[in-house]
Amino acid sequence: MRGSYWSIALGFVAATWLSFHYLAIDLSALFTVKEATRMAQYAASFFPPDLSASYLARVAQGTAETLAISAIGTALAAIAGVFLALPAAGYFGAVVRAGSKLVLNFLRAVPELVWAAIMVLAAGLGPFAGTLALAVHTAGVLGRLFAETLENTPREPQLALSDAGSPASAAFIYGTLPGAMPQFIAYALYRWEYNIRMAAVLGFVGAGGLGQMLYFSLSLFQQRQACTIILAMLVLVAVVDAASAWLRKRLVL
Amino acid sequence: MPATDTDRRLQDPAAPSRALATIVVLLLLWPGIKWTEFSPAVLFDPQNRQTIGHFLGTFLPPNVSPEFLQLIAKSTLETLALATAGMALAIAFALPLALIVAGSLSISRIGPGPGRGGGNLLRTIVRFVLMVLRGIPEIVWALLFVRAVGLGPAAGVLAIAITYSGMLGKIYSEIFESGDVQPARVLLESGSGRLSSFFYGILPGALPEIVSYTIYRWECAIRASVVMGFVGAGGLGQQMELSMRMLNGGEASTILLTFLLLVLLADAVSAMLRRVLT
């Protein structure tokens, strides 16, 4: 026990030394007086944030766009996730199950930002590309979680219904879905909380929202405007966290 | 024809409320359709289809020429080094901040004494700083640092260090408060300093949790550094950005495969380390 801690600590120190050595970063160069003044000047150029009414209106629009990207993206992903979860939970046999799990893993493994860069090529610059990118990645995440939920939901009600003669779809909708639905909603809301953070940065590759505004304003050396956008991101994340926690408490518990 | 008893029994009693909830959700999402410029038709726009078709068409075969693989190996190492160096700095920043925040090490809280108000104020300020550090996504920090220290991995290291010190600082302080705080309190009451109470009273109990959470975050840092290059902060992401901008599908698919391998590897190493410790 104690030995393994020491070996991890030693390994960590060695890895850190190797990393700094490999990257050849001279951090001490950052702490010279000249460099520190330059950094401080750069940081100071962000203040005060631009709070003029016209700019706030534009930031509000960007915030709404980001919110919409995350909400629509997550909603699409939830719908797609249910349809991917059915085969992945083994409803259509073992072969289909393995295949759909592979698809889910692939969707999930490609980072959102890469999906966004691809979607910008497929759908052009703008928030629609961001929405699609979030939807595709999140469908992989939610599909897997939904499939696990379906596997853990008791099958007996559905079997009873189909034994009594109801068609398969009705047996699933009235037998299994009611038991799984609260968990589905909880997962989707949790993922929405996460996606709002992603939606705020997908714009870096041209997929709309606050990220795109931030990227532009920093490229144009408008630091005070950038500061307003960053503040808007912080507020948005805090509000969505609170809203999602409230909804989850109301809907699930 | 009037509804018979059988018809009524076959109806779903929860249907009206469920329909209402669906309509409310759809109405709430409706403006979002407009704001996201939702139009699947653009996917079938001939020009877009040609661009993406050409790009995806060149995905196979992946580019495995020795020079390119060498370049990718270098970028992969850079990504790993970036995440590790960033984590090391983050731990160095987070530990002292967590020690300030943790109420279990507060001397003024033990009894009525001077300095209580000041201590609480300091704790609140540090807590707020930690919140801002982790509230801004790492890639935004990376973008800011690229403008401040120039293109390259240094910006990525600093971005990881800043964001993760916010996360680690919060979780460390929670761990310091959630375990058995009696030993530390006894030490403080009998007159030992904060640091020695921490090392002898809290650290022994908190270490397993601290180490396993840090390893988990290291894994997250690797995922984050993979995409950080999109804003110019070094590593694999930067290669990916270049290949995508030049619409070079073969290179992009090689890099994508490397992404997957790297993330799987980090996953496995982190799971193994945590298993060894528990």
pLDDT recorded at residue A56: 92
pLDDT tens-digit series, residues B29-61: 888 888 888 888 788 888 878 888 877 877 788
Q: Tell me if B240 and A114 make a contact (CB, 8 A cut-off).
A: yes
A107/A102 Cα distance (integer angstroms): 9
> B82 φ, ψ to 5°?
-60, -45
Q: What is the DSSP string of A169-180?
A: HHHHHHHTHHHH
Per-residue three-class SS string for B15-53: HHHHHHHHHHHHHHHHHHHHHCCCCHHHHHCHHHHHHHH
Q: Which chain A residues in 49-108 lie under 8 Å from chain B, judged by CB atoms?
A: 64-65, 67-69, 71-72, 75
> Token match 């799987």: residue?
B264
Confidence of residue B142 (pLDDT cuts 50, 70, 90): very high
Asked whether the beta carbons of residue B42 and residue A72 sit closer than 8 angstroms, the reply is no
Residue with tokens 């990207």: A69
Q: How many CB pairs under 8 A join A and B?
A: 150
Tell me what pLDDT residue B10 has. 66
The verdict on a CB contact (< 8 Å) between B143 and A197 is: no
* ipTM of this complex: 0.84
Please, is B244 exposed, middle or buried when counting C-beta atoms within 10 Å of its C-beta (0-12, 13-18, 19+)?
Answer: buried
Which among B148, B211, B223 is the nearest to A8, CB-wise?
B211
Average pLDDT over chain B, rounded to an integer: 85
B197 pLDDT tier (thresholds 50, 70, 90):
confident
Given pLDDT bands bounded at 50, 70 and 90, which one contains residue B1?
Answer: very low
The 10s digit of each residue's pLDDT in B231-260 is 888 888 888 888 888 888 888 889 988 988
Indicate if the pLDDT at residue B3 is higher than 70. no
Inter-chain CB proximity A18 and B81 less than 8 Å: yes
Q: Does B5 reach chain A within 8 Å, measured CB to CB?
A: no
Mean pLDDT for chain A overall? 88
pLDDT reported for residue B8 = 55
Stretch among A230-234, B68-72, B75-79, B267-271 having the lowest mean pLDDT: B267-271
Q: What confidence tens digit (pLDDT) does each residue in A156-183 have?
A: 999 999 999 889 888 998 889 888 988 8
Check residue B129 and give its pLDDT.
92
Min CA distance, A160 vs chain B (Å)?
16
| Under 8 Å between Cβ of A233 and A65 | no
* Residue B161 confidence class, pLDDT cut points 50, 70, 90: very high
| % of chain A residues with pLDDT over 90 | 42
Q: What is the mean pLDDT of residues B68-85?
A: 90
pTM to 2 decimals? 0.84
